[in-house]
Amino acid sequence: MKKIKRLGIIALLLSVITISVGYKSDFFEVAKQLEIYTTLFKELNMYYIDETNPAELTEVAIDKMLSELDPYTRFYDEQGVERARINANGQNGGIGAETKIIDGKLVITEPYEASPADKSGLLAGDIITKINDISLDETPPSDAQLLLNGNPDSAVNLTVLRQGKTVNVRINRTNIDVDPVPYYQMLNDEVGYISFIKFNDKASARVKESFEDLKAQGMQKLILDMRGNLGGLLNEAVEITNFFIPKNEVVVTTKAKVKKWSDTYKTKRDPLDLEIPIVVLIDHKSASASEIVAGSLQDLDRAVIVGERSFGKGLVQRYRELTYGTQLKLTIAKYYTPSGRCIQELDYTHRDKNGKVPKFSENQRNAFQTKNGRTVYDGGGIEPDIKLASVERSQATKDLLNSDAFFNFAVNYYQEHKQIPAANEFKLSEADFNNFIDFIQKEGSGFVTTTDHKLADLLQEADKEGYANSIKNEFNALVNKIKKEKVKELLPNKSEIKDVLSNEIVRKYYYKKGEFIRKVNHDQAVIEAVNILKDQSKYQKILN
């Protein structure tokens, strides 16, 4: 049955891809390749000397085929479909905690404030080892994540490992709403601040609610913080942009190979406020829907963009239903801001012979004009109007920022310190920073570079060939030398590293809300945004 099911999926998958490229290949070529695959698959499963697993083989084939396209085109089995639905809607019966797979283990990374997980005493860093009667030693962590969810008011029993001790917890699930606006406040008598982290189906409603509350408090200028916002629903991005620009304005255009999938998205409602000065904060993790909002407000000269260049995701995906409850999410179009620019950074279509994906920003970027005639460029994300002065990140710093080291250190810090100052007063000491540097040089810290991986592979090969012991001293000396060089590369980015680490520690004590409370008091981007809004002549000069 599984074999037939997977063959059906392959057939439909190839059919969908054929349609999505506008019948680029003729029917004979598609039928030919399907027949080759079917006959090969049949012969392999019937006559290969050892027992094969048809489902696993087909899954490998699907994953390999899609990996040649882009990272956003993906196949979802039944469990994956459910997980994607939960992520998109931001609502489900659950325990109210973020989880992550770290080193093959399912780890609690953040219990939401006042959630069932929080009230039951779960802590960031807890390793889930058992869900009800199911041991995670025998269940893939990605599958186990779904077991945490269930009908509201149902109970789930968890066994977690905390500092080497086993803790049993019983939690009553409830409806969990992921708040896209975890924090907003007046920064002074005039300037309001809204942190905005997710484009789920509640995003525009929450931004509107926050905006109207701040207006009632006397807000005359606005900072919209979309740093780290990875995007989400396109219609929510259009709706939020509509708050600040007139009805019937183009916000974004999508262009697909299949004509019916190309579309122009315009504002449909009267705006909330056409006059309020706005600064939008973005960073290298602001992507997709975040870039639509920032790009359209920039193109229409409605906001000053501050921070660093955004991620550069100008690709549009759509879900297509396959057989047996599975789905294919595939890239069907590129999106374009009102000036006509596409800000996609990576050119997945033109990989080099080694499989490396080139960047559009490494070639000649095309110039476009905003509504007031300012020059903006396509390719490589949204370039801010005011780029914050910062030291360029070293490769070691990039690796560190993408690692689990900050989380792992913050968990240890939380376990060792019962309390810290209030979120707006917390400041990382030099001793704490030095402890962090010592920590990341230890095995298991979560900070591993490409060089570290290659060194580990080298030692493994040397061990296989029988001379690992003879080079042990030289190898250890090389490892220690590389550790010192990594630290050297980090020091020019010390300020950013301290800031990220401070936020991670504060979140362990005061949740995500506490992180934003700290940011509005210490963050350089927020300080710069306030200064720009204070100087209205500078603000207008940037836009005009």
Instruction: Specify if 260 maps to a domain.
Output: yes
Residue 22 confidence (pLDDT): 44
Mark whether 48 and 193 lie in a shared domain. no
Q: Give the residue from 155, 177, 199 where a domain finishes.
A: 177
| CATH number, position 143 | 2.30.42.10
Instruction: Specify if 77 maps to a domain.
Output: no
Mark whether 424 and 442 lie in a shared domain. yes
For residue 279, give its domain range: 183-388
Mark whether 327 and 468 lie in a shared domain. no
Q: Give the residue from 159, 177, 195 where a domain finishes.
A: 177
Torsion of CA 512, 517, 518, 522, to 10 degrees: 140
Instruction: Specify if 535 maps to a domain.
Output: no
Distance from C-alpha of 424 to C-alpha of 432, rounded to nearest angstrom: 18
Residue 250 confidence (pLDDT): 97
Instruction: Specify if 351 maps to a domain.
Output: yes
Catalytic (active site) residue 313: yes
Instruction: Specify if 426 maps to a domain.
Output: yes
Mark whether 406 and 511 lie in a shared domain. yes
Task: Tell the burial category of 307 from Cβ atoms under 10 Å away from its Cβ (0-12, 13-18, 19+).
Answer: buried
| Phi–psi pair at 90, nearest 5 degrees | 70, 20
Mark whether 37 and 110 lie in a shared domain. no
Q: Give the residue from 338, 355, 388 where a domain finishes.
A: 388
Question: Which H, E and C letters describe 235-268, residue by residue?
Answer: HHHHHHHHCCCCCCCEEEEEEECCHHHCEEEECC
Catalytic (active site) residue 299: yes
Q: Which of 70, 118, 299, 385 is catalytic?
A: 299
Q: Which positions of the chain have pLDDT values less than 70? A: 1-26, 83-93, 390-391
Residue 83 confidence (pLDDT): 67
Q: Which of 313, 329, 512, 519 is catalytic?
A: 313
**Domains identified in the chain, total number:** 4
Mark whether 384 and 399 lie in a shared domain. no
Mark whether 47 and 126 lie in a shared domain. no
Instruction: Specify if 344 maps to a domain.
Output: yes
C-alpha distances in Å from residue 429, one per residue of 426, 433, 501:
9, 6, 11
| CATH number, position 252 | 3.90.226.10
Run of H or E residues at 317: strand 315-321
Residue 156 confidence (pLDDT): 94
Instruction: Specify if 515 maps to a domain.
Output: yes
Q: Which of 115, 210, 286, 288 is catalytic?
A: 288
Q: How, if at all, do strands 191-195 and 221-225 pair? A: parallel
C-alpha distances in Å from residue 235, one per residue of 196, 203, 229:
16, 10, 16
Residue 162 confidence (pLDDT): 95
Mark whether 232 and 285 lie in a shared domain. yes
Mark whether 403 and 498 lie in a shared domain. yes
Residue 92 confidence (pLDDT): 56
Instruction: Specify if 239 maps to a domain.
Output: yes
Mark whether 373 and 418 lie in a shared domain. no
Catalytic (active site) residue 225: no
